[in-house]
Amino acid sequence: MRIVFNREASVKVAALATGIAAGAIGWAVPAVSQEISDDVVKIGIMNDRSGVYADAGGEGSVVAARLAVEDFGGTVLGAPVEIVAADHQNKADIGSNVARQWYDEDKVDAIMDLPTSSVALAVQSLSREKKKITIVSGGGSAEISGSQCSPYGFQWAYDTRALSRGTAGALVRGGDDTWFFLTADYAFGDSLQSQATAVIEANGGKVLGAVRHPLSTSDFSSFILQAQSSGAKVIGLANAGLDTSNAVKAANEFGLTEAGQKMASLLLTLSDAHSLGTEGAQGLYLTAGWYWDQDDENREFAKRYMERHGKMPDMLHVGVYSAVLQYLKAIKAAGTDETEAVARKLHEMPVEDLFAKKGRVLENGRMVYDMYLFQVKSPDESSGEWDLYKQVETIPGDKAYATVAESGCDVSSFPKN
Amino acid sequence: MTMLFGIPLPALLGQLLIGFINGSFYALLSLGLAVIFGLLRVINFAHGAQYMLGAFTAYLLLFYTGLGFWPALIVAPLMVAAISALIERTMLSRLYDLDHLYGLLFTFGLALIIEGTFRWYYGAAGQPYAGPALLSGGTNLGFMFLPNYRGFVVVASIVICLSVWLLIEKTRLGAYLRAATENPQLVQAFGVNVPLLLTLTYALGAGLAGLAGVLAAPIYQVSPLMGSNLIIIVFAVVVIGGMGSIGGAIVTGYVLGILEGLTKVFYPEASNIVVFVIMAIVLMLRPAGLFGKEI
């Protein structure tokens, strides 16, 4: 019985060790401008800098934000632009505390990135209270621009609805109409699966079955066997991170793809694909809004980013770049950094940059732009460690994203301009 | 087709085999843990980190020296054992006279530091590690497709578990070990170097974790988190088997692997907790574990 007591004690130690609050770094800058509050535009990049999602955001997003500031010229309306960063450790309470401190003491004007939907929702709701702008590119829940939307909240890079519409819709239309899901057994997995199911059924396909596996399962072979015996044409992965990687590895090992079944991941980041390698991930379908090797503009940006950070940028990182750039453009267009005015400009202005070639922002804050269905290359097709995707088809923005009415966002509650 | 509990028999056989394969890992890991607890009375929370170190050592050997799977299977566990021996000698051995809690806290802290360091350098997503070419592909068993490598893991694990059990229960060295933990003063009086024996024991337990790590590397992503995902289950296996019972740890490892495999078919959502439910029941009915002796 002793072990039980001891383990309890060790959990307390763990809680202590991980309970260190995150801090923000900032410094004062001399006064120059009258339209800008506190004479500086401060943008806070808040994300996971040490945990499971650190590769998908982390320092990479900060690097992308700095590149955006440089590309904009370093100042807006004569005031300097400053980037600060903090780790929310994927915990909503820590995220809210940091946001409060940023707004109240550190004069931060807007918070961006915000992966992990629970944290994004908490910070967005606090920011609505404080009348500050948030631009979420890391957090994927469709709720952010749906039932929990905010007049000052924007969602930039993707959402779960677009990913499932993209991947499931395109495959079913191509004739892969029977599906079996491996779903992570929590809210995120559930919503991915139910959104994808709706798309599959709307396109005349059929879901033959699903297994709901616990979060952080290391061995997927049992689930893979079940998927195999279902006879479904596509195995849909409604999970993320290590779970996705381990499921894909097991599927290859058990000869699933060789036997003709397709694997489709509803959320795969470039770092996941990179860590699996083409050997492990080949043939996998996924949806993303940006890939470094799509055109010269993207390749050039990727090269600059690579020089700074040593890795290729992913959709989420470039989403932060685009968000920062658009925010600065909006301040310039509004002639002030006052929240209402900037939010109005963000809603009005089209988004034209290397991330979103033809983007626009809906009333609910959702930035709508074209998404792409990709397939991971085979080792023969790939010419280097980052040469991972080939583009299969373009999914027009209005097909991928929900309309304001569909999103469930009550825009009538927003303050009238 | 023959059906059993509403599931076709071949599918069920496949799932049983998969459970047995996972059980092989549980058995290997809980074996090392049981050796360390049984002989040193140390609750080694760093076991998961040592397992992860084994996998990472194999990966790094391949990456930096080009050393493939087979040499790594020998070299990596030895390296993990050597590092662990150093840690035991310089730090852990000072805690033997104190309450068990101190050993647990020390190894827990150690695990956090090791895993944190690897996470800092390699991120959480993990690295791929290719298995040996000799064992690529698979065999069709009629009821399922068995990847050759997984078959090898089962055989290797059975051989290793049996050898370690024989070493400790049936050889003279094993007798010294057991005697040294019963009554260190007396054994020392006979001229046996007890501190050295204890160091070797800790190194053996850690080396076994490292070996399990190398075996796991081609199957799972080599990730800093791979050990912490597994360690709590392995602790439960040891508790169910009976703390310190080496044979108990091995048998329980395989049995729980199979039970967990069956849960994945009938009620997958519960597959992460089934081991703990069994642990709770066993602790209520037999507090010393299935194979443990009442103290």
**How does DSSP assign A266-291, residue by residue?**
SS--HHHHHHHHHHHHTT-EEEES--
CA–CA dist A251, A223 (Å, integer): 9
ipTM over 0.85: no
**Amino acid at the residue B87:** I
Q: For residue B125, give the nearest of A9, A14, A271 by CB distance.
A: A271
Structure confidence at residue A401 (pLDDT): 94
Give the pLDDT mean for B204-212: 96
Structure confidence at residue A3 (pLDDT): 40
Structure confidence at residue A22 (pLDDT): 34
Query: A27: Cβ–Cβ under 8 A, 6 or more apart, which residues?
Result: none
Q: Are A323 and A45 in contact (CB under 8 A)?
A: no
Please tell me if residue B225 touches chain A, with a CB cutoff of 8 Å. Answer: yes
Q: For residue A212, give the nearest of B21, B112, B268 by CB distance.
A: B268
Cross-chain residue pair A225–B15, CB shorter than 8 Å: yes
Give the count of alpha carbons within 13 A of B183, CB side only: 4
Report the share of chain B in percent with pLDDT over 70. 96
- pLDDT surpassing 50 at residue A15: no
Cross-chain residue pair A225–B221, CB shorter than 8 Å: no
Residue intervals in chain A for CATH 3.40.50.2300: 31-158+298-365, 161-288+371-396
Identify the CA nearest to B126 among candidates A282, A274, A216.
A274
Q: Are B210 and B61 in contact (CB under 8 A)?
A: no
- pLDDT surpassing 60 at residue B6: yes
CA–CA dist B261, B256 (Å, integer): 8
Q: What is the 3-state secondary structure (H, E, C) of chain B?
A: CCEECCEEHHHHHHHHHHHHHHHHHHHHHHHHHHHHHHHHCCCCCCHHHHHHHHHHHHHHHHHHHCCCHHHHHHHHHHHHHHHHHHHHHHCHHHHCCCCHHHHHHHHHHHHHHHHHHHHHHHCCCCECCCCCHHHCCEEECCCCEEEHHHHHHHHHHHHHHHHHHHHHHHCHHHHHHHHHHHCHHHHHHCCCCHHHHHHHHHHHHHHHHHHHHHHHCCCCCECCCHHHHHHHHHHHHHHHHCCCCHHHHHHHHHHHHHHHHHHHHHCHHHCCCHHHHHHHHHHHHCCCCCCCCCC
- pLDDT surpassing 70 at residue B223: yes
How does pLDDT run across B109-158, given as a tens digit for each residue? 999 999 989 988 887 767 888 888 888 888 888 778 888 999 999 999 99
Domain A31-158+298-365 fold is Rossmann fold (3.40.50)
Cross-chain residue pair A214–B225, CB shorter than 8 Å: no
Q: What angle do CA A326, A109, A335 make, to 5 degrees?
A: 55
The CATH H-level superfamily of A161-288+371-396 is Response regulator (3.40.50.2300)
How does pLDDT run across A172-181, given as a tens digit for each residue? 998 999 999 9
Structure confidence at residue A9 (pLDDT): 46
Please tell me if residue B192 touches chain A, with a CB cutoff of 8 Å. Answer: no
Structure confidence at residue A12 (pLDDT): 47
Select from A275, A314, A382 the residue whose CB has the most chain B CBs within 10 Å, as the one to mutate to test that interface: A275
Place of tokens 């647990």: B104
> Which residues make beta-bridge pairs with A307?
none
Give the pLDDT mean for B19-37: 92
CB < 8 Å from A in window 27-66 of B: 43, 45
CA–CA dist A280, A258 (Å, integer): 12
Mean pLDDT is lowest, of A18-22, A262-266, B71-75, B194-198, for A18-22
Place of tokens 């439910």: B277
Task: Please provide residue A106's backbone torsions phi and psi, each rounded to the nearest 5 degrees.
Answer: -100, 5
> How close A127 comes to chain B (CA, Å)?
30
How does pLDDT run across A44-77, given as a tens digit for each residue? 999 998 777 888 889 999 999 999 999 999 999 9
- pLDDT surpassing 50 at residue A32: no
Q: For residue A214, give the nearest of B109, B223, B271 by CB distance.
A: B271
Place of tokens 């616990």: A214
Chain B residues in contact with A249 by the CB 8 A cut-off are 128, 219-221
Instruction: Give me the total of CB pairs closer than 8 Å, taking one residue from chain A and one from chain B.
Output: 132
Select from B1, B18, B119, B143 the residue whose CB has the most chain A CBs within 10 Å, as the one to mutate to test that interface: B18
Under DSSP, is residue A144 helix (H, G, I), strand (E, B) or coil? helix
> Which residues make beta-bridge pairs with A155?
A136, A366
CA–CA dist A201, A177 (Å, integer): 9
Burial code (b: 16+ CB inside 10 Å, e: under 16) for A348-383 equals: ebebebbbbeebbbbbbbbbbbbbbbbbbbeeeebe
> Which residues make beta-bridge pairs with A287?
A373
How does pLDDT run across A107-135, given as a tens digit for each residue? 999 999 999 888 999 999 999 999 999 99
Place of tokens 């500031």: A69
Structure confidence at residue B138 (pLDDT): 84
CA–CA dist A213, A232 (Å, integer): 18
Give the pLDDT mean for B251-266: 91
Q: Are B134 and B127 in contact (CB under 8 A)?
A: no
In angstroms, the first-to-last Cα distance of chain A is 65
**Cα→Cα distances B43→B26, B54, B92, B95, B198, Å:** 17, 20, 11, 12, 14
Averaged confidence pLDDT in chain A: 88
Place of tokens 């699996």: A276
Q: What angle do CA B72, B73, B76 make, to 5 degrees?
A: 60
CA–CA dist B229, A147 (Å, integer): 35
Mean pLDDT is lowest, of A107-116, B8-17, B52-61, B253-262, for B8-17
- pLDDT surpassing 90 at residue A100: yes
CA–CA dist A120, A140 (Å, integer): 9
> How close B180 comes to chain A (CA, Å)?
23
CA–CA dist B117, A79 (Å, integer): 40
Strands A79-87 and A75-76: antiparallel
Place of tokens 């033997």: B96
CATH number assigned to the domain covering B15-285: 1.10.3470
Identify the CA nearest to A122 among candidates A101, A94, A142.
A94
CA–CA dist A146, A408 (Å, integer): 5
Cross-chain residue pair A219–B272, CB shorter than 8 Å: no
Query: A289: Cβ–Cβ under 8 A, 6 or more apart, which residues?
Result: A157, A158, A162, A315, A319, A355, A356, A369, A370, A371, A372
CA–CA dist B190, B74 (Å, integer): 34
Q: Where are the domains of chain B?
A: 15-285
- A319 is written with which tokens? 């989403």
CB < 8 Å from A in window 239-258 of B: 239, 243
CA–CA dist B260, B254 (Å, integer): 10
How does pLDDT run across A145-196, given as a tens digit for each residue? 999 999 999 999 999 889 988 899 989 998 999 999 999 988 778 888 999 9
CA–CA dist B43, B59 (Å, integer): 28
Cross-chain residue pair A10–B239, CB shorter than 8 Å: no
Strands A285-288 and A360-361: unpaired
Cross-chain residue pair A255–B144, CB shorter than 8 Å: no
Q: For residue A6, give the nearest of B104, B119, B123 by CB distance.
A: B104
How does pLDDT run across A339-377, given as a tens digit for each residue? 999 999 999 999 999 999 899 999 999 999 999 999 999
Cross-chain residue pair B221–A276, CB shorter than 8 Å: yes
CB < 8 Å from A in window 67-106 of B: 100-101, 104-105
Structure confidence at residue A69 (pLDDT): 97
